[in-house]
Structure 1
């Protein structure tokens, strides 16, 4: 199916939305939505995004590497930099840990250096969806990047005609070498003067990572020199070798005025599969055609939600957030269905049209990104669920933060089950083997001694912690035995409730009852004296002394936060939670304290993820993301509406430092998208949303039933409070929107006021 056929329904929706608009008012649908996307948003501060060329959820993220070490190198790029070390084809978007940076290329001229470095200025840098361009000042080279799903395409214009035209393939390049990331070996084959292929093996956050590639040049090289640990020798090809040293291949190209084009196909399986991917996706050399195809694909994605706003900042933030919400997870599958599984073996997908995916930042994205997709792209949402189940079948446990066929074990609990439970709750899993899904949840919720033995001595051992063991044996996690005990406990309680919902749908009633019981284990941590979730010691007492402001990254009782931020987490049992704490009035008082108390964080090792503070609320980190909406469970929802207004207008800006914390593979952006529309999934796994404070004037969302329209009357910065809500002309009767209502299409009218 060609690109225009594939996206015709989406473009048709855009035209339908345009046809429904009043001719006297300017609408977003009359413009190219790409103009509102700025890939540089989030590249400054601690956003950790990258500006390079990619397609939605693609294997390739072709981007410059300007930052190689430290926290700000997580994506390989930072807005403050002025040097480019390479252009590599794989990158993480908005993470707090770095990896990838595979297959690094750098054009250069006029120097004979083992490792040249390019200089650039921001004024000569351009980025838009599917395209990146920069002028390398010290080499006089205009460098442009675009891509298909599995192939990167580079166009180089060497402007100094009398200078050498050179290209470096740096097979020793890596991101985050100071965090233990290293190249293990290279299989390299130089086929001829215009074709190079191989496999690049690394060890880092992904314990066993391999990336195969094939590189084709539009102009054959005059000669090549291969450097091994700095010692160079001219290449006579064909050449095939395996080497564990630092390899750098310099290609010397003939002088000329025609641009040089470089195609790089990727595969996680083999160089031969990379050749198949390249042949299928990019059999030609037409750079502008690929760039325009990418733009058309991104238009289709952005057009799933058409918004109107008088505020250009809202438009830019919203559509850039839509863009960032469609970068991860990455498709990990070749064009013919082959992929490398969590068992490190090669498999072929029985449903190749589904794709197989990696880079699920689940601790972050289960909260909003995956629920958003159930609305605007339910087929893709289900494909992600199937991919997680495939991971279970290959590795016998659901992943926590899978990266390139590796279990990283990053972050607490087992939130794959949240993604699965949300699909079940929203009727998207009716044709799936739900008993298998329940089995996967159960086997992922317990301590796995078999996997502890299997993963011994590897980075993947981080997946197997003893937190579930104590939950099973004691019903709580003793804080004097393990760190982050409170965070693990309350999040496992939610995940166990999710397993109960899957089991219930599968007809496994006794299992559902057991996991519903486990879902209430969070109550053991509630301390009525402090009105906070407090760590419990092995003898059953609360930790004393207790400082709710204290944070020590990876060492305290709370993950990337403190007691204030973690004391509002029981989204699956809000009525039980409210009863446990003593009533709605107590919840409201606790929320008031959270948002108005001092923002001081105590501790010399406090987590750098605690950013975007309003009192002790920390919007820069995900555990806080649902909290403002909890005012809907009190007598004062207007307080939450005012806070949401402040969060959206203060912590999201159309600037490089415009994301207040790590973007986290689309979660920070998905939060903005849904909150700007005016509703939010407080509890994925419940098919409902809480209405907050919309900041768009109007929105039209493509849903299964047609179009769901949101009209916001009297919207302004002053009018931040909800006066009334109507659905298809009738009062909604509260601030809860059902997913079935949304999916069916219709019109939601939200009237705003400046009165409380």
Structure 2
């Protein structure tokens, strides 16, 4: 029987306190227990299972953000399978792998095979792994940023292992650009019997040898282990907690996993780019699982590893400069997986949180290109996930439809509802960065576009539904699993995936009280999955913010209850680990932030929602590029089963809205929770904001859309003795003509006002509206402006209709419009 021994698996029980209100000293606790934070890391949590039914991770020996991981190999990896699974009994060898997650491929990996034998014992810590097998072999592993050391190999294995070589394999190659210069180079030092010291490089064999010499050189094995351990201890010292042992184990194991990615692949000032197949100066990170990690992993890194954030942002910018588009899942090049534009979101978040070490002008240029330039096949490609090279949606797949219709049409593009929602969030990011570089008009345009998600809201069914190019919705009853129009979601989960405009979402749902009721219904009937052993939808990332929406809707106690349920039911210390795959630290980042008592619903607003802490006490050390500061988290009346927060304050100031700013936290101070130990819940009243919408005009008819028919109808209304008002989403009138270089109106066989309006644009000699022989878009706009102004018909451009106003009987009484600044009137 295989025996697995973790370096920190022993449970020593809860810490005793003389008073339930006491705040433990981290240093005292660690000393009394004889265990450091690093000792609680269990590398085997989440390593046993298949597909999406477990953590999808492996025991990686490495350094934080290392360029590769050294892993015991129990099976051959591929897309959908890792090299190690705790259910396997046989050791086949060891792999120097760059495969970031179970659903992505490896690239330039190096394998060291041994005589297959049953594993009898395995110990693993982040900085060292030891494996014993039934045939009497004993192996020891450690690693640096670009080099590995394996001890215990047979002389035959060492003798036959090539001294240097290159592996050009890229499992994801068919989804990205052809790369003739790509290669995972290695150089092996075989000078010590039974040992291999292997240097890695993406630049050359000579660089691999240089990396080995610089990082290991004449150091002993124990020296390298100690150096790797010191790197982990440095990172772990920034986040210290006091909590029950099971919480510590999940928390610190999660912390280790959040510090694995993105990979830092530059080699002493140079890096190979898989985006233009060239060598560049500078630093480079890759393996960004952005669709997953923009939600919690990247926000967490802004607190615990801020010195890496600027380099990560510049890496995304460089990928666009070298490859043409901002990536969604670089591994190490484009892979065509997932939808949306999450790179834009993390760039905006970094700016909002005060990071200034990346090129802001380049960042906005990259974001603007992604947001305004559809790929040449966008009108005919359905953007299937992981499409073959040339059909990968690294830009915004479906952007042409989004720009012309205000939504992604489902009969043209897959995952249309999710794309529209995600593009709206990315437009919000684009607006933030446009303002940052002084492009305020463009910012207003992007900000107005960010509300396009509402165009997929079907008022009749009360949910976001796919919409065809002709404007018609596809009814919920006609949608079949798997849902083609949602990205790893259902129509029900997609109801809540608008984290960047929760006020607007509440209005669509019928107000905040109704939003709370529907959110209750969602959690009570859909969130937990009895058919999957009561696992939860939390196993996939789009639901990660959902439990915190109660805060935004005015019911913070419900957030506290739901968050605590998820932390205790969806995370465990067993081999399966989570309700779903880790995905480059995202699952763990959610737990870490939630256990500390806060979480970002909208990552670009610079605020965190307050939840229900699982820790008694925590201390976060804030560092560069911010001023050094200490953030303490203290919990009064703590008990492991107390989830209800009676009061929360920061530096003595009560946080009545259950929200805290990032800028306050990085300045240091005390975030103090007081838990409610009573039986009766605290009473919170959902308050709908008393908001008088300013009335722009009181008219008989509102015409939405300043097209030829729309402007003509406004003229007919005026002639009938009624008042009219015209609203155009473009910055000009005549939106169906003014964008054309050549006017083509066809035969003038129309009747009434349309004919009269078009006649003014006819290319005839002597027509005062336009010069003979030609017409410009400016002339079209001029004619339409004069047509309305001459009839005293008011109009607004750059304005969208976003809602209807009903009277007490439910009849439509008006519309709500939003201008390019997002202001509703």
Question: What TM bracket, shorter-length normalisation?
Answer: 0.7 to 0.9
Match of 1:643 in 2: 562
Q: C-alpha distance in 2, partners of 1:55/1:501?
A: 35
Structure 1 residue aligned with 2:719 = none
Q: Say whether the 8 Å CA contact 1:60–1:152 is kept in structure 2.
A: no
Residue 298, structure 1, aligned to residue 227, structure 2 = no
SS at match of 2:183: strand
Q: How much does 1:423 deviate?
A: 1.0
Aligned equivalent of 1:35: 39
Corresponding position: 1:49 with 2:49: no
Match for residue 188 of structure 2? 215
Which of the two has greater strand per residue? 1
Q: 1:517 to 1:542 in 2, by over 3 A?
A: same
Q: 1:419 Cα shift?
A: 1.1
For residues 564-643 of structure 1, the aligned pairs below 5 Å read 564-598=492-526, 618-643=537-562
| Match of residue 400 from structure 1 | 328
Structure 1 match to 2:757: none
User: Which protein is bigger by CA-based radius of gyration?
Assistant: 2
Matching of residue 264 in structure 1 with residue 198 in structure 2: yes
Is 1:484 equivalent to 2:411 in the alignment? no
Name the structure 2 match of 1:724: 647
User: 1:566 Cα shift?
Assistant: 1.4
Residues 643-691 of structure 1 deviation map (CA, whole Å, 9 limit, x = unaligned): 1111111111112211221100011111111010000011111111000
Q: TM-score, normalised by structure 1?
A: 0.80
Hey, what does 2:405 align to over in structure 1?
Answer: 474
| Structure-1 separation of matches of 2:493 and 2:471 | 23
**Cα deviations across residues 554-611 of structure 1 (Å, max 9, x unaligned)?**
x611111211111112211122222232210121122112111156989xxxxxxx97
Pair 378,92 (structure 1): closer, same or farther in 2 beyond 3 Å: same
For residues 32 and 370 of structure 2, the distance between their equivalents in structure 1, rounded to whole angstroms, comes to: 45
SS in structure 2 opposite 1:567?
A: helix
- Give the superposition deviation at 1:102: 0.7
Which one is further off, 691-700 or 563-572? 563-572
- Indicate if the aligned counterparts of 1:107 and 1:168 stay in contact, CA closer than 8 A: no
> Quick one: which of 293, 298, 312 aligns to 2:245?
312
Aligned counterpart, 1:330: 263
SS at match of 1:202: coil
Q: Distance in 1 between matches of 2:615 and 2:453?
A: 37
Q: How does 1:541-580 map to 2 (within 5 A)?
A: 541-546=472-477, 550-552=480-482, 556-580=484-508
Change over 3 Å in CA distance of 1:403–1:22 after alignment to 2: closer
Q: Deviations over 1:465-495 (max 9, x none)?
A: 6411211121111212222111111011101
Change (3 A) 1:375 1:342: same
Give 1:202's match in structure 2, choosing from 169, 184, 206.
Answer: 169
Structure 2: distance between partners of 1:20 and 1:613? 35
In 2, Cα distance between equivalents of 1:466 and 1:341:
21
SS in 2 for 1:62: strand
Structure with larger RCO (C-alpha < 8 A, sep 6+): 1
* Shift in CA distance, 737/154, structure 1 to aligned 2, threshold 3 Å: same
Q: CA deviation at 1:317?
A: 0.5
User: In terms of mean alpha carbon deviation, does 589-598 or 503-512 score higher?
Assistant: 589-598
The 1:20/1:620 distance shift into structure 2, 3 A limit, reads: closer
Q: In 2 relative to 1, CA 464–70 (structure 1 residues): closer, same or farther, beyond 3 Å? A: same
**1:24–1:391 CA distance, 2 compared to 1 (3 A):** closer
Select between 523-532 and 276-285 the one with higher mean Cα deviation. 523-532
After superposition, the C-alpha distances for 1:33-57 in whole angstroms (9 at most, x for unaligned) are 2210011111123211111311100
Name the CA distance, whole Å, in 1 between partners of 2:131 and 2:273: 34
Q: TM-score, normalised by structure 2?
A: 0.73
- In the alignment, is the contact (CA less than 8 A) between 2:108 and 2:167 conserved in 1? no
Task: Mark the CA change 1:612 to 1:403 in structure 2 (over 3 Å): closer, same or farther.
Answer: farther
Paired residue for 2:117? 119
Task: Note closer, same or farther for the CA distance 1:28–1:267 as it changes in structure 2 (3 Å cut).
Answer: farther
Distance in 2 (CA, whole Å) between partners of 1:394 and 1:661 is 34
CA 1:483–1:273: 2 relative to 1, 3 Å: same
Matched, 1:381 2:309: yes
Change (3 A) 1:601 1:487: farther
Unmatched runs of 5 consecutive residues or more in structure 1: 1-18, 109-117, 159-163, 171-189, 191-195, 220-258, 350-354, 603-609
2:776 alignment partner in structure 1: none
Contact 1:218 1:285 in 2 (8 A): no
Measured after TM superposition, the shift of residue 126 of structure 1 is 0.8
1:26: how far off?
Answer: 6.2
Deviations 1:106-144 (A, max 9, x none): 233xxxxxxxxx2233x5111001111212324x32111
Which whole-Å deviations, capped at 9, do the CAs of 1:209-234 have from their partners, x for residues lacking one?
Answer: 52111111124xxxxxxxxxxxxxxx
Alignment pair present for 1:357 and 2:285: yes
Aligned mates of 2:132, 2:391 — CA distance in 1: 41
- Aligned pair partner of 1:166 in 152, 157, 161: 157
**Any conservation in 2 of the 1:364–1:667 contact (CA below 8 Å)?**
yes
> Using a 3 Å threshold, how does the CA distance of structure 1 residues 293 and 575 change in structure 2: closer, same or farther?
same
Question: Which residue does the alignment assign to 1:441?
Answer: 367
| 1:459–1:305 distance in 2 versus 1, CA, 3 Å | farther
Match of 2:138 among 136, 142, 160: 142
Equivalents in 1 of 2:423, 2:642: separation in Å?
Answer: 39
| Number of the residue aligned with 1:506 | 437
- The reply on whether 1:79 has 2:78 as its aligned counterpart is no
Q: Which deviations, in whole Å up to 9, do the C-alpha atoms of 1:187-211 show, x marking residues without a partner? A: xxx6xxxxx1121111421444521
CA distance in 2, matches of 1:613, 1:101: 39
Q: Mark the runs of 5 or more structure 2 residues left unpaired by the alignment.
A: 1-22, 682-825
The C-alpha deviation readout for 1:248-307, integer Å capped at 9, x for no partner, is xxxxxxxxxxx6220111111111111111111111251111111111111111111110
The question of whether the paired residues in 2 share the 8 Å contact of 1:105 and 1:168 is answered with: no
- Secondary structure of the 2:151 match is strand
CA RMSD, 1 decimal: 2.7
In the alignment, what sits opposite 1:15? none
Q: Determine the C-alpha separation between the residues in 1 that align with 2:290 and 2:160.
A: 34
CA contact (8 A) 1:29 1:306 kept: no
How many equivalent pairs are there?
637
Q: Distance in 2 between matches of 1:719 and 1:544?
A: 43
Deviates more, 1:497-506 or 1:703-712: 703-712
Instruction: Using the TM superposition, name which of 706-715 and 196-205 deviates more.
Output: 196-205
